[in-house]
C-alpha cells in the first residue's frame, strides 16, 4: 500500500526539521538539521539531495528526471538490486533491477542521539513477478557533515541467492572534463565500450564517454573537481566501483537527461557486480556502505 502524505506527517510529527511533500505524486521527505539538508524519495529510497552546511550540494539531479511510479529517477543515489545493467538471463527485464523503481517503507526517523533515516523494502508478490527470492532490504541514511549510507541486504528465504547491488551515486561537479578519479591505479576493469578487461594506469580523466566496472577496488577513492577546487572522498566496503559519464551522444539518446547536462555529473558507484556478485545464504545479511566527505582540494594529500 502506498504511504500517504497525511499519514506520514502525523506518524513523524515529533521529528524537528522533517517535512513531507510530493513531486508529481512521488512522496519525498526533507530533513533539515543544524548540519545539513537531506531529501529522499520513498520510491527507490532514493536520496535526491544532500547539502552539508557551508558546502555545495553533493548530488546531481537531472532537470529532465521523470517522477513517475515504477520509473527510475535520473540523478541522486539510485539503489541497484538485484541485478546490475541488463539482466543476463532475461535481457528484456528492466536494467539495474527493481529496487530503484518500487516504493520503500519509511520505518524510522530520528535526530538524536544521532540523525538517521531508515527505509525498508521486503519481497512481495510484486517483486516475485521478476525475481523469486525472499529478501529484506534496509537502507540506513546518516546525514551529518558528511553523508553515510549503510544498506543491509538479508536473505529471508530457504535458498541461497546470488545478487548484484550498487549505490549508483551521481556526483554534481563543475565540469567533468576537469575532474579526475584517484585510487584506482592498478585496478582491473571491464570497459563497456571495449572488449577486454584492462588495468587502470594512473588517475581516470574524462575525455569521452566513460563506462567501466572496476573490480576489487580499495576502500577509499577520490573525485577531484579541479575547476571548483573541491574533492569528494568516497569510502566504501564495496568491492566494485563503476565509473560513468555518458558524454555527448549518449546524453542525447537518454530521454530523461538533458543534452547539455553531462559535464555537470560523474557517477562513481559503489557495488558488488559481475565478478564481485554476492552469494547470500539463507538467514545471512550483508552490508554495503559508503561515506561521502567533501573538502577543499587544497587541503587534501590526494590533490592532483
Q: Which residues are catalytic?
A: 168, 269
CB of 269 to ligand BG6, least distance (A): 6
By CB under 6 A, the count of residues binding ligand BG6 is 10
Tell the smallest beta-carbon distance from residue 65 to ligand BG6 (Å). Answer: 11
Contact positions with ligand BG6 (CB under 6 A) in 134-173: 168
| Pick 105 or 250: Cβ nearer ligand BG6 | 250
First CA to last CA distance, the chain: 50
Query: Within positions 257 to 276, which residues make up the interface with ligand BG6, using CB under 6 A?
Result: 269
Smallest separation, CB 112 to ligand BG6 (Å) = 36
- Nearest to ligand BG6 of 244, 247 (CB atom): 244
Nearer to ligand BG6, 95 or 160 (CB): 95
| Residue (12 or 104) nearer to ligand BG6, CB | 104
187: nearest Cα among 202, 172, 208, 209:
202
Residue 221 makes contact with ligand BG6 by CB under 6 A: no
Question: Phi and psi at residue 127, in whole multiples of 5°?
Answer: -70, -30
d(CA 260, CA 237): 33
User: Does residue 242 belong to the site contacting ligand BG6 (CB under 6 A)?
Assistant: yes
Q: Which residue is nearest to ligand BG6 (CB)?
A: 95
Q: Report in angstroms how near the CB of residue 246 gets to ligand BG6 at its nearest.
A: 6
Q: Cβ 64 to ligand BG6, closest distance in Å?
A: 12
Is residue 211 a contact point for ligand BG6 (CB under 6 A)? yes
CB of 68 to ligand BG6, least distance (A): 14
Residues near 175 by Cβ (< 8 Å), separated by ≥ 6? 225, 227, 263, 264
Site string for ligand BG6, 75-104 (x = CB under 6 A): ----------x---------xx--------
Residue of the chain from 53, 192, 227, 296 that contacts ligand BG6 (CB under 6 A): 192
Interface positions with ligand BG6 (CB under 6 A): 72, 85, 95-96, 168, 192, 211, 242, 244, 269
Amino acid at each position: 500500500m502506498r504511504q500517504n502524505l497525511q499519514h506520514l506527517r502525523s506518524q513523524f510529527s515529533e521529528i524537528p526539521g522533517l517535512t513531507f511533500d510530493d513531486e508529481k505524486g512521488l512522496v519525498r521527505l526533507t530533513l533539515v538539521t543544524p548540519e545539513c539538508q537531506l531529501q529522499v524519495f520513498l520510491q527507490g529510497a532514493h536520496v535526491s539531495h544532500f547539502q552539508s552546511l557551508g558546502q555545495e550540494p553533493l548530488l546531481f539531479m537531472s532537470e529532465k528526471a521523470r517522477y513517475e511510479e515504477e520509473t527510475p529517477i535520473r540523478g541522486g543515489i539510485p539503489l541497484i538490486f538485484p541485478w546490475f545493467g541488463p539482466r543476463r538471463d532475461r535481457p528484456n527485464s528492466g536494467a539495474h533491477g527493481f529496487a530503484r523503481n518500487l516504493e520503500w517503507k519509511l520505518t524510522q526517523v530520528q535526530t538524536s542521539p544521532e540523525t538517521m533515516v531508515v527505509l525498508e523494502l521486503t519481497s512481495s508478490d510484486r517483486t516475485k513477478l521478476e525475481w523469486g527470492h525472499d529478501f529484506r532490504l534496509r537502507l540506513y541514511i546518516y546525514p551529518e557533515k558528511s553523508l553515510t549510507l549503510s544498506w543491509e541486504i538479508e536473505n529471508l528465504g530457504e535458498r541461497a541467492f546470488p545478487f548484484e547491488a550498487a549505490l549508483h551515486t551521481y556526483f554534481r561537479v563543475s565540469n567533468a572534463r576537469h575532474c579526475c578519479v584517484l585510487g584506482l591505479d592498478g585496478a582491473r576493469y571491464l570497459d563497456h565500450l571495449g572488449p577486454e578487461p584492462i588495468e587502470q594506469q594512473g588517475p581516470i580523466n574524462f575525455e569521452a564517454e566513460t563506462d567501466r566496472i572496476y573490480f576489487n577496488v580499495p576502500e577509499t577513492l577520490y573525485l577531484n573537481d579541479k575547476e571548483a577546487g573541491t574533492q569528494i572522498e568516497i569510502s566504501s566496503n564495496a568491492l566494485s566501483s563503476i565509473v560513468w559519464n555518458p558524454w555527448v551522444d549518449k546524453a542525447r539518446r537518454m530521454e530523461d537527461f538533458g543534452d547539455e547536462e553531462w559535464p555537470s555529473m560523474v557517477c562513481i558507484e559503489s557495488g558488488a557486480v559481475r565478478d564481485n556478485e554476492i552469494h547470500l545464504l539463507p538467514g545471512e545479511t550483508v552490508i554495503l556502505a559508503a561515506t561521502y566527505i567533501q573538502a577543499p582540494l587544497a587541503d587534501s594529500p590526494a590533490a592532483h
